[in-house]
Amino acid sequence: MRIKEFVKTFRPYKVLEGNYRIWLDKNENPFDLPLEIKEEIFKELKKVPFNRYPHITSMPLREAIAEFYGVSPKNVAVGNGGDELLNYLTRIFDGNYVVTTPPTFAMYNFYARLNGIPVVEVPLKRGFIIDGEKIAEKAQKACVVFIASPNNPTGNVQPREEILKVLDTGVPVVIDEAYAEFSEKSYIDLLDEYENLIILRTFSKAFGLAGIRAGYLLASESVVDALYRIKSPFSLNVLTMTAARVMLNHYDLVKQNINYIVKERERIYQEFKEYTYPSEANFLLMKLDAYEFLLERGIVVRKLDGLLKGHIRVTVGKKEENDELIKALKEFVENVGDI
Task: Say what the pLDDT of residue 337 is.
Answer: 58
State yes or no: pLDDT of 10 exceeds 50: yes
Q: Render pLDDT for 142-168 as a digit per residue (tens, 0 to 9).
A: 999 999 999 999 999 999 999 999 999
d(CA 90, CA 73) in angstroms, rounded, equals 22
Strands, sheet with 119-121, edge to edge from the N-terminal-most edge strand: 76-79, 215-218, 197-202, 173-176, 142-148, 97-100, 119-121
Superfamily of structural domain 5-30+252-333: Aspartate Aminotransferase, domain 1 (3.90.1150.10)
Instruction: Count other C-beta atoms under 10 Å from residue 131's C-beta.
Output: 17
The DSSP code for 231 is S
Task: Say what the pLDDT of residue 167 is.
Answer: 98
d(CA 187, CA 180) in angstroms, rounded, equals 9
Fold topology of 50-248: Aspartate Aminotransferase; domain 2 (3.40.640)
Task: Say what the pLDDT of residue 173 is.
Answer: 98
State yes or no: pLDDT of 339 exceeds 50: no
Strand ranges for the chain from DSSP E: 22-24, 76-79, 97-100, 119-121, 142-148, 173-176, 197-202, 215-218, 283-286, 299-303, 312-315
Instruction: Count other C-beta atoms under 10 Å from residue 329's C-beta.
Output: 25
For the chain, which residues make up each domain, given as ranges?
A: 5-30+252-333, 50-248
Q: Render pLDDT for 294-315 as a digit per residue (tens, 0 to 9).
A: 999 999 999 999 999 999 999 9
SS3 of residue 321 by DSSP: helix
d(CA 226, CA 141) in angstroms, rounded, equals 20
What is the pLDDT of the chain when averaged over all its residues? 95
d(CA 198, CA 217) in angstroms, rounded, equals 7
> What is the pairing mode between strands 97-100 and 76-79?
unpaired
- Yes or no: say if 218 and 201 are a contact pair by the CB < 8 Å rule: yes
